[in-house]
Structure 1
Amino acid sequence: MSIKSIKSIISSGESLTVEFKESKTKLNKDVYETVCAFSNRAGGDIFLGVKDDGMITGVDEEAIESIKKDFVTTINNSQKLSPPLYLNIQTIDIENKKILHIHVPKSKSVHSLNGKIFDRNNDSDINITGQNANIANLYLIKQDTHTEDKIFPYATMNDFDLELIKRIRIVASNRRADTHPWEGLSDFELLKSSGLYKVDKTTNKEGFTLGAILLFGKDETIVNALPHHKTDLILRKVNLDRYDDREIITTNLIDSYYKMMEFVKKHLNDPFYLEGDIRISLRDKIFREAVANSLIHREYSSAYVAKMIIENGKVVFENANIPHFYGELKPSNFTPYPKNPSIAKVFREIGFADELGSGVKNLYKYSKAYGGSDPVIVEGEVFKIEVQTPSEITEQNKSGGISGGISGGISELLNFIKENEGLSAVDISDKIDIPLRTIQRWMKQLKDEGKIVYQGSKKTGGYFAN
């Protein structure tokens, strides 16, 4: 770790993954609690010779070797820290002082210190000994299996919505020019080939998985398998204490996706936008990714109610999560991790999602054009996505109306004409899928401003940028 990086971390203060200890001449005894908490939660960095407020005081040079020796002896002692850890301390020269840096990686085990289990919460080490629910959550975070792979050995094909499977088979086939692998398979073979029927080699249990039930199960099957499964859709713009509109979804993930997208289309504008010379729906591009992410990467073992909340100026998604990183996700620090790979595979086959990791990239690609700023994506026990939305200004027309910012639409129309000169109003209306009457009104304004001119005859002429 470079000096520049260390200074940046220290200047940001203590956090879930950063801890300061003054330890000028000897180790603070609670440093081991932090080591235990970091290893149990998300890992982190401990800096000795730094006060709680970030002031660098340094460690006395004469004490450095004894501090290192005491630390290594303690963390290697299974009577103290169980199971023991094997960590190093790095000496760093900074601001003419010496500090000690300990990097604690996230462990695959749950560790205890003197028989007590510590967890990390914000910038504090918490003793959770005897708190069975919190300890169980630590073990859940560290498990190697996916919740979607839980096997239900007594589930049969009668527990699935066969019409839904038929419908989704058609959707997947229509997306391929060649023959889709699902064609020709029985319903059971389709589920098995999608990783939704498995054999647990450690217990010899065999059967359909939770993923299969969530994707294709009848509603009563889903309730029996996962009673707390629901997604709460809320519109809160006028009545801020309660809501203006609300829908609670408890059905399969396929229909959940459709219902969530319908709620979005019902309550959010879709500004006029051109990508090249093709009009695309920014709203659909963005919320297709956000909705799919909410359903694919949710931790379904948690009773935390997933939400999509449409407010003034933003939409917020929340769902339970087993984090593999803590903090805000950006394209520069984002590493895709398959949290429910079988569910994700089915979503990709039917066009609800693209390859792993594309969702975050597309959210950043389109959100600024849609709402004026990048999305905020935060990984933690609760996964959150916040997308800014455009203003409520709309351009209405007699044929039923078209949502979108007026000035933005005219600006994009002018750009389109610059890149596609000589087209008539009818041709432009057809190509960018905007009603002709709206195009004619916008063109009149552009002509009045002297930004475009019409050249040629009425039958064969077209518009040019001035």
Structure 2
Amino acid sequence: MDRPTFESILQQGESSTVEFKRCGGTPSHDTLETICSFANRSGGSIFLGVSAMGEVLGIPSGSTLEIERNLINCTYNPNLFNMPPSLEFEQIEFDGKIVLRVWVPPTQGVFRLKGHVLDRLADADVELKSDTQIAALYLRKYAIFTEQHIFPHLRMEDLDSSLIDRCRKMAAGRRPGHPWTNMNDIELLRSAQLYTRDIETGAEGLNRAAALLLGKDEVVLAACPAYKTDAIYRHDQPDRYDDRETVRTNLIDSYDQLHAFCAKHLPDPFYLEGSLRVSVRDIVVREVVSNVLIHREFTSPFPAKLIIDEVGLRTENASRALFEGRLTLSDFNPMPKNPIIANFFVQIGYAEELGSGLRNLEKYSKPFLGGDPVLDEGDIFRTLVPRKAKSIEAVSAAKAPKEQTRLSILALLEKRGSLSAVEAATAVHVTSKTAAKYLKGLVEEGLAAPDGNTRTRRYYRTEISRSN
């Protein structure tokens, strides 16, 4: 690793794939925890000899080989790891000090440290305790598409036949001569892979995708009991909501309801593309709404959200991510979460081919609300189309330099008077752990004062601290 690359990593700080550790002669137990969490996520690099804030401290002289042997012995110890994760090592010399990079490559398999399953969420190692969390990890590791699950007792009469006919007409209207035009209902379902056969088990029938796309309401909820999308509009009541709609119907009608909710509460600015006026609102809303409906893990109990407020247009939904972090056009490799549902949306014109949605958001978000879109992939997929006037509170640490994130939190503290780490994390789209580091830094600079214990701690701008 060359010096500019290493300096860039130090500047950006810890993340889902980067961890800094102080290191004496022997790596600590929390280093093993990070190895386990990286192996269970998408891999990553541990830099031994670097403080949590990115200060290069180095490791003791002549201890590199001993540290490497110690880590290898630990990972191959069956009393620690259920199976050994792969490790690669690299020495980095920086200003006369030695940093040891431990790279954990991504791999299949679920790793346990002393019987505990650890996962990497943002810049933290967390233990997965519930069966639901561990099941989601297996889904991600082995790329299982839960939309393909066949329900042997799901019948044609459980689907909305009028909705099937409507989708047939939509596909034909979008593309004259579409094959669905001359198909009966069962032929259409087979063509759309909604009626399938599992070649491993021999099971045949309608699958979860069919229930979600075309099922009657009671069927949709039977197939996915936790499925819903909360649409919230906040304006006069920022701590509550001015309008709210809970959507728990099939995905086609859900799209229509969420699209109408956005049209009711969002502006449609005048925009010319060449000599033609186009609705940037409709383009952006289509991408955001179709994304929150298509690319989600429907078996997760996490409810999806669509929020319109002073920050902008935001969505959150459970995902099955192989990658964690910011999505950009330069490094975006589209991977469908639910390819059957995604293809159905493309056929009826509710979505475009995979990958085009991000390009549309990049192109039209700024003329729509004034800011560049932010898409964060992870177990919770987040989309933000920010309003320009509020962009300082919508800055993400992964996109902005450290100083800009620090200034964003300071500006938020000045505006609100007091702030918790959780509130700061939500506003600037970083983890609570990262926000706490910045708030602690403001305390050290004399710009903020803490009050309360770790669990209830709030930070006050020094000029208006509680001591006054």
Alignment TM-score > 0.5, same fold: yes
**1:292 aligned counterpart, secondary structure:** helix
Q: Does 2:135 match 1:136?
A: yes
For residues 168 and 361 of structure 1, what CA distance do their matches in structure 2 show? Answer: 26
**1:117 aligned counterpart, secondary structure:** strand
* Aligned 8 A contact 2:136 2:320 in 1: no
Shift of 1:139: 2.1
The letter of the residue matching 1:284 is D
Q: 1:219-298 counterparts in 2 under 5 A? A: 219-298=217-296
Shift of 1:373: 1.2
Shift of 1:376: 1.6
* Aligned 8 A contact 1:230 1:305 in 2: yes
Q: Indicate how the Cα distance of structure 1 residues 183 and 99 shifts in structure 2: closer, same or farther if over 3 A, else same.
A: same
Shift of 1:300: 0.5
Q: 1:173-184 counterparts in 2 under 5 A? A: 173-177=172-176, 179-184=177-182
* Aligned 8 A contact 2:295 2:337 in 1: yes
Encode CA deviations 1:316-375: one digit per residue, 9 max, x unaligned. Answer: 111111222222222223221110100010111111111111111110101111111101
Counterpart residue number, 2:318: 320
Q: Does 2:341 match 1:339?
A: no
Encode CA deviations 1:97-139: one digit per residue, 9 max, x unaligned. Answer: 22111121333211112333323344333344x5434333322
Shift of 1:384: 1.3
Counterpart residue number, 1:310: 308
Counterpart residue number, 1:120: 120
Counterpart residue number, 2:14: 14
**2:62 aligned counterpart, secondary structure:** helix
Deviates more, 1:76-85 or 1:206-215: 76-85
Encode CA deviations 1:24-78: one digit per residue, 9 max, x unaligned. Answer: 4333343222111111233221011212332212233422122222222332344
* Aligned 8 A contact 1:370 1:390 in 2: no
Counterpart residue number, 1:434: none
Q: 1:49-448 counterparts in 2 under 5 A? A: 49-128=49-128, 131-177=130-176, 179-312=177-310, 314-389=312-387
For residues 59 and 229 of structure 1, what CA distance do their matches in structure 2 show? Answer: 50
* Aligned 8 A contact 1:72 1:88 in 2: no
Shift of 1:258: 1.1
The letter of the residue matching 2:64 is I
Counterpart residue number, 1:462: none
Structure 2 portions without partners, runs of 5+: 390-468
For residues 84 and 101 of structure 2, what CA distance do their matches in structure 1 show? Answer: 19
Encode CA deviations 1:208-243: one digit per residue, 9 max, x unaligned. Answer: 111111111111211222222211112211122332
Counting matched residue pairs gives 389
For residues 311 and 68 of structure 2, what CA distance do their matches in structure 1 show? Answer: 53
Q: Indicate how the Cα distance of structure 1 residues 309 and 124 shifts in structure 2: closer, same or farther if over 3 A, else same.
A: closer
Structure 1 portions without partners, runs of 5+: 392-466
Shift of 1:147: 1.6
Shift of 1:389: 4.5
For residues 145 and 134 of structure 1, what CA distance do their matches in structure 2 show? Answer: 15
**1:47 aligned counterpart, secondary structure:** strand
For residues 88 and 277 of structure 1, what CA distance do their matches in structure 2 show? Answer: 57
**1:70 aligned counterpart, secondary structure:** helix
For residues 390 and 15 of structure 1, what CA distance do their matches in structure 2 show? Answer: 26
Encode CA deviations 1:367-422: one digit per residue, 9 max, x unaligned. Answer: 1111111012111222111113589xxxxxxxxxxxxxxxxxxxxxxxxxxxxxxx
Deviates more, 1:150-159 or 1:117-126: 117-126
For residues 223 and 52 of structure 1, what CA distance do their matches in structure 2 show? Answer: 45
Q: Indicate how the Cα distance of structure 1 residues 243 and 29 shifts in structure 2: closer, same or farther if over 3 A, else same.
A: closer
**2:179 aligned counterpart, secondary structure:** coil
**1:221 aligned counterpart, secondary structure:** helix
Counterpart residue number, 1:34: 34
Q: Indicate how the Cα distance of structure 1 residues 151 and 2 shifts in structure 2: closer, same or farther if over 3 A, else same.
A: farther
Q: Indicate how the Cα distance of structure 1 residues 30 and 230 shifts in structure 2: closer, same or farther if over 3 A, else same.
A: closer
Q: Indicate how the Cα distance of structure 1 residues 114 and 310 shifts in structure 2: closer, same or farther if over 3 A, else same.
A: closer
**1:332 aligned counterpart, secondary structure:** helix
For residues 342 and 123 of structure 2, what CA distance do their matches in structure 1 show? Answer: 34
* Aligned 8 A contact 2:151 2:207 in 1: yes
Q: Indicate how the Cα distance of structure 1 residues 327 and 255 shifts in structure 2: closer, same or farther if over 3 A, else same.
A: same
For residues 131 and 281 of structure 1, what CA distance do their matches in structure 2 show? Answer: 45
Deviates more, 1:49-58 or 1:302-311: 49-58
Deviates more, 1:142-151 or 1:361-370: 142-151
TM-score by length of 1: 0.79
The letter of the residue matching 1:141 is R
Deviates more, 1:381-390 or 1:167-176: 381-390
* Aligned 8 A contact 1:48 1:59 in 2: yes
Shift of 1:159: 0.8
The letter of the residue matching 1:172 is A
**2:331 aligned counterpart, secondary structure:** coil
* Aligned 8 A contact 1:59 1:98 in 2: yes
Counterpart residue number, 1:45: 45
For residues 315 and 137 of structure 1, what CA distance do their matches in structure 2 show? Answer: 27
For residues 124 and 368 of structure 1, what CA distance do their matches in structure 2 show? Answer: 32
**1:211 aligned counterpart, secondary structure:** helix
Q: Indicate how the Cα distance of structure 1 residues 146 and 96 shifts in structure 2: closer, same or farther if over 3 A, else same.
A: same
The letter of the residue matching 1:13 is G
RMSD value, Cα: 2.0
TM-score by length of 2: 0.78
Q: Indicate how the Cα distance of structure 1 residues 169 and 42 shifts in structure 2: closer, same or farther if over 3 A, else same.
A: same
Larger of the two Rg values belongs to structure? 1
Q: Percent identity?
A: 44
Counterpart residue number, 1:2: 2
For residues 186 and 253 of structure 1, what CA distance do their matches in structure 2 show? Answer: 21
* Aligned 8 A contact 2:47 2:101 in 1: yes
* Aligned 8 A contact 1:149 1:210 in 2: yes
* Aligned 8 A contact 1:22 1:51 in 2: yes
